[in-house]
Amino acid sequence: MEIKVMKRVLDRNQDKAEQVRKLLKEQRVKMYNFISSPGAGKTTLLEKTCEYLKDKANIGIIEGDVSTDRDAQRLKMYGNPIVLINTDGGCHLDSNSIEKALSEFSLADLDMIFVENVGNLVCPSHFDLGETSKIAVVSTSEGDDKPIKYPMLFRDAEAVVLNKMDLMEHTNFNYNLFKKDLRSVNPEVPLFRVSCTKDEGLGPWLEWIEGKVKVEL
């Protein structure tokens, strides 16, 4: 016999994500989920962002890594409350671990939470954390074809940061092709070209994220 089921798989993460989203809305805290491949520069971007927002917003950080607390240690120096999640081999954060992390913050004291997801362009974009939106970080040293290869992330992202612009001349990264592909996947997404280590081009990104502080959820 054939039994009709019509049940979604991986539903539990989605259900929990909706609970997280509801909690954040009640507490009026915006949460941004930073997703990139390993080494694109998420942590450095967050360092620059936290430094800029120091006296402008109350930021909490959820740091996701497979192992070690190296990135968390780097971000600690900016004085924001920070919760580390080691996935011990897991390739993405999930809403359950985010919910637990949120219980360690005093949400009433925060304006925004930045989640640094595990370095991975595939899985994090499929696991809703209950975030306000995703920020895709990509770099010129990893090839210009990421938007077309990972459309789900670039389609869902509220902003795209292209890092390591200072290295572009030493690679075969074709910026026009990258932009064309990005625009076909997500025609309107803001694109910020930066070099975090050289402190170049960060102004528009920092103004954009600062602008989000006052936006109502």
Partner 1 sequence: MHETAIVQDMFRIIDQVAEENQLKRIDRVNFVIGKMMQVVPDLFYFAFDAAKEGTIAENSEVKLEFLPIKMKCKSCGKEFLIDNNVFYCPACQNTDLDLIQGKELLIKSIEGE
- Residues making contact with partner 1 (CB under 8 A): 1-12, 122-123, 126, 148, 151-152, 155, 181, 184-188
Nearer to partner 1, 9 or 108 (CB): 9
Q: Are 66 and 118 in contact (CB under 8 A)?
A: yes
Q: Element (H or E) spanning 48, and its range?
A: helix 42-52
Phi-psi region of 169 (alpha: psi -120 to 50; beta: other; left: phi over 0): alpha
Q: How far is the CB of 12 from partner 1 (least distance, A)?
A: 8
For residue 83, the minimal CB distance to partner 1 (Å) is 24
For partner 1, give the closer residue by CB, 148 or 206: 148
Measured from the CB atom, the residue of 169 and 188 that comes closer to partner 1 is 188
State the nearest-atom distance from the C-beta of 112 to partner 1, in Å: 26
Count other Cβ atoms within 10 Å, centred on residue 44: 18
Shortest distance, position 23 Cβ to partner 1, whole Å: 23
DSSP 83-136: EEEE-TT-SS--HHHHHHHHTTS-GGG-SEEEEE--S-SSGGGGS--S-SEEEE
Strands 157-163 and 133-139: parallel
Compute the least distance from the CB of residue 155 to partner 1, in Å.
7
Beta carbon nearer to partner 1, 145 or 200: 145
Q: Which is nearer to partner 1, 82 or 85 (CB)?
A: 85
Work out how close the CB of 91 gets to partner 1 at its nearest, in angstroms, rounded to a whole number. Answer: 8
Residue closer to partner 1 by CB (options 125, 139) is 125
Tokens 């954009």 -> residue: 208
The whole-angstrom separation of Cα 186 and Cα 133 is: 15
- How far, in Å, CA of 217 to CA of 212, rounded? 10
